[in-house]
Chains A and B, each alone.
Chain A
Amino acid sequence: MATRVLIPTPLRAYTEKKDALLLEGGTVGELLASLTAMYTPLRRHLYDDAGALRSFVNVYVNDEDIRYLQKEQTRVTDADTVSIIPSIAGGRS
């Protein structure tokens, strides 16, 4: 079973420019673990030194924020789409 994980533009530099990946895992945490195992430098962009998801990176299963589901224990199926949504800075300049 593989779930689609969408990679946002700022993080594609770490995923060989791929914008989506099919990853194995029964929970969001497992998917992100497979992702960071494949692309090690991505890890520090998703997790802080204590191993917690960074607060400027949100993860959604379909249109729902995992903070309001079961966080990283949120279960996923191959019908779900997981999105990583970091804060972006641009606008004025």
Chain B
Amino acid sequence: MREDGGGRTDVRLSREEIRRYGRHLILPEVGLEGQAKLKASSVLLVGAGGLGSPLALYLAAAGIGRLGIVDFDVVDESNLQRQVLHSTPYVGRPKLVSAKDRIHAINPHVDVELFSMRLDSGNALDVLRDFDVVADGTDNFPTRYLVNDACVLLHKPNVYGSIFRFEGQVSVFSAPGGPCYRCLYADPPPPGLVPSCAEGGVLGVLPGIVGTIQAAEAIKIILGIGEPLIGRLLLIDALTMKTRELRLRRNPSCRVCGDHPEITRLIDYEAFCGITPAAGDEGPDAVTVTDVKSRLDRGEDIFLLDVREPQEYGIANLGGHLIPLNDLPRRVHELDSSREIVVYCHSGVRSGQAVQFLKTLGFRKVKNLTGGIDAWAEEIDPAMARY
């Protein structure tokens, strides 16, 4: 599959590998030839998290010859509910280290190539260029559009998966003749309008379901078998356990894969997604946890407004008045605009939106608690439960 291999199938399997892959070899759709194709192939995983975990585990087990992984994160306890590539002893260590150890424990025949970096416009083409298939397991829009555009520019199939709460999406983009992610969604949502998993939560099993489907698609593409999800968007609802399929078409006026593409090189994806550095964390509307703590200790009159969900309030709270962000418009009468209001949420994103909303209603003395209750737990009250 690689350029230097030119789709070669002269890769030989050792006796040990033949024994290992026996259940593949007796499948007529795979066989010795298909298994050799897998061994000659390479897949790049963007992200070693929820989706990257099952991708890495199953692609390694399946005998993909070379797995590349891009990640810059360390394993956190809150990852372990779904990121089954990592385990408790690895908490605090780089995900790449954990991933490599685990992959080699499963299959020592896999070459693992680690890219400890945040993928950006400057490095993406160089990283992706050397792989046959890209599997997108990212959690943010800038990286998703970056991976999409880079795959289109390099003509690499992009096995896409995305999850939220109980719902997942899977498709294969940038395959010959097929659509790309931009054909589906030309533009990203403005920051804050769509909640992330960190805010909205996700069923731990869901990335397992979606990521294993991505792994199956990557293997089918490499083997050239079956009907990959090209031009099809698979929707999975784990709550009803119903799946649906929607038809996707290549958009002839797509900015990157259309008939007259405007995007012929990678752009600034943070700017494209409307993200300005440290949005909401600085500026006149922000206040730090240490500042609020000392002012409360001095007995100053500060009204704390908690805009999280009730289940989050149950885990930990600062005794603030609870109005979930979505209820704020119809419950705003509960607030006294003459008092100083400090709004907090888990990490500062939702409270930032609440501050902007309240200001449009004429609230003058309203501030956003930078870093949210999580920063409070880290800096002020280490005994507080974190999530």
Chain B proximity of A34: nearest CB distance (Å): 20
Inter-chain CA distance A67–B249, complex, in Å, is: 10
Given A55-B187, A86-B189, A91 and B50 touching (CB < 8 A)?
Answer: yes
A88: B residues at CB distance < 8 A: 162-164, 167, 169, 194
Inter-chain CA distance A89–B189, complex, in Å, is: 10
Contacting pair B163 A91 (CB below 8 A): yes
Given A9-B167, A63-B245, A65-B247, A91 and B193 touching (CB < 8 A)?
Answer: no
A55: B residues at CB distance < 8 A: 185-187
Size bracket, chain B contacts: 35 or more
Contacting pair A83 B194 (CB below 8 A): no
Out of A8, A86, A90, name the residue touching B202 (CB < 8 Å): A90
Inter-chain CA distance A92–B167, complex, in Å, is: 15
Given A55-B187, A56-B185, A10 and B163 touching (CB < 8 A)?
Answer: no
B175: A residues at CB distance < 8 A: none
A65: B residues at CB distance < 8 A: 246-249
Instruction: Please count how many residues in chain A sit with their CB below 8 Å of the partner chain's CB atoms.
Output: 28
Contacting pair A58 B198 (CB below 8 A): no
- Asked if B58 lies at the interface with its beta carbon under 8 angstroms from chain A, I say no
Out of A10, A56, A67, A83, name the residue touching B195 (CB < 8 Å): A10
B363: A residues at CB distance < 8 A: none
Give the residues from 1 to 54 in chain A that come closer than 8 angstroms, CB to CB, to chain B: 8-10, 13-14, 19, 41, 45, 54
List the 8 shortest-distance A-B pairs measured between CB atoms, nearest first.
A92-B49, A90-B197, A92-B139, A92-B47, A88-B164, A55-B187, A91-B139, A90-B163
B residues within 8 Å of A by Cβ?
47-52, 71, 73, 79, 136-141, 161-167, 169, 184-189, 193-198, 200, 202, 207, 233, 235, 237, 240, 244-249, 251, 326, 329
A residues within 8 Å of B by Cβ?
8-10, 13-14, 19, 41, 45, 54-56, 58, 60, 63-65, 67-68, 83, 85-93
